[in-house]
Amino acid sequence: MAHLWRGVIREYFDRLDVTKDTPIITLGEGGTPLVDAPALAKLVGADQVYLKVEGMNPTGSFKDRGMTMAVSKAVGHGAKAVICASTGNTSASAAAYAAAAGIQSVVLVPDGKIALGKLSQAVAHKAQILQVEGNFDDCLDLARDLSANYAVHLVNSVNPDRIEGQKTGAFEVVEALGFAPDFHVLPVGNAGNYSAYFKGYLEDFNAGTIKAVPKMWGFQAEGSAPFTVGHPVKNPETIATAIRIGNPASWDLAQSAKECSQGMFGAVSDAEILWMHRFLSQEVGVFVEPSSATGAAGLLKQAKLGLVPKGATIVVTVTGHGLKDPMWALKDEAGQEIVPEKVSTRAEEVAERLGLV
């Protein structure tokens, strides 16, 4: 039967905090593919591993699920402008949804630490962009301060509407599989998405749709891993700029999600992230941004420690599209630029170069 995907608010209307009076600002987000990844399953020794490919959302990241909710509710409250702090993806999403709503967006990004693809999206959607002398955590403090004292509506994931929208990722996983996976793995920055997936699974559990919630496994980059060190980190560092966050906004929510699900937090090195980034592109066929490979990199680390049970079904959320931050794909393992070879238009020469003769 024909069915046009209508975006997460309309698809999950009864399960979200919206009413008939909520204006719906949507770009058709959600409904993303759950891709079977046998090469990754083999690598980690699990029965089934699926990737929830969130790069297929309208602005290329999972943020759109939360942003449709946050901007719709903001408009419902009469907001004329939204503001966010961002390592890039939130700003791209906020800018697009604000454009769709016909309101202004203001984005605060850390000085020089945002991927070009993401910055270009915010520019394209006509956000007012300010580069703040500081890191993401400073930007978030500033955004909170401004929204508390001026007429701008905060759309970071400290806004519960964001978490509410993002929980639909878990609903889709359960619908696609018909059951809950044993483990759900994802990269962690502010831990909003980790908390949101857990909320979604918990609601499915309470509704009797699934028998158990998955164990939630969240991974950060080693230089930016407050959950593994047990306290906020002052100067977070990692090449995975999307998750370069030292003071996660959803600290308490995430801790309780971890405990309730018997899950864990871990950390992986930048080298492990980049290795997995390449593996996902070359062996699975899914191109993600480096930060998005952090979950799968963590899964591999757990597998090497013998902590991935053989019969397990695992879902890994890959959070953002590879085109967001493409420069990493254009370097080889030694960090050298990869430049395509030049050839003439003569078939014999090309065949020779390709090793076909």
CA distance 257 to 31: 24
**Residues making up the chain, counted from first to last:** 357
Smallest distance, Å, CB 141 to ligand F0G? 14
Q: Could you give the angle at the alpha carbon of 203 between the alpha carbons of 197 and 50, nearest 5°?
A: 40
Smallest distance, Å, CB 61 to ligand F0G? 5
Smallest distance, Å, CB 295 to ligand F0G? 8
Q: Are 292 and 320 in contact (CB under 8 A)?
A: yes
For residue 57, the one-letter residue type is N
Name the token pair of 146: 């401004």
Contacts (Cβ under 8 Å, ≥6 apart) of 47: 41, 310, 311, 312, 313
Smallest distance, Å, CB 336 to ligand F0G? 26
Grouping H, G, I as helix, E, B as strand and the rest as coil, residue 131 is: strand
What are 267's strand-pairing partners? 220
Smallest distance, Å, CB 322 to ligand F0G? 11
Which chain residues interact with ligand F0G by CB under 6 A? 61, 63, 86-90, 157, 187-194, 242-243, 289, 291-292, 319-320
Instruction: Tally helices (H) and strands (E) across the chain.
Output: 14, 10
Smallest distance, Å, CB 190 to ligand F0G? 3
CA distance 270 to 62: 22
For residue 304, the one-letter residue type is K
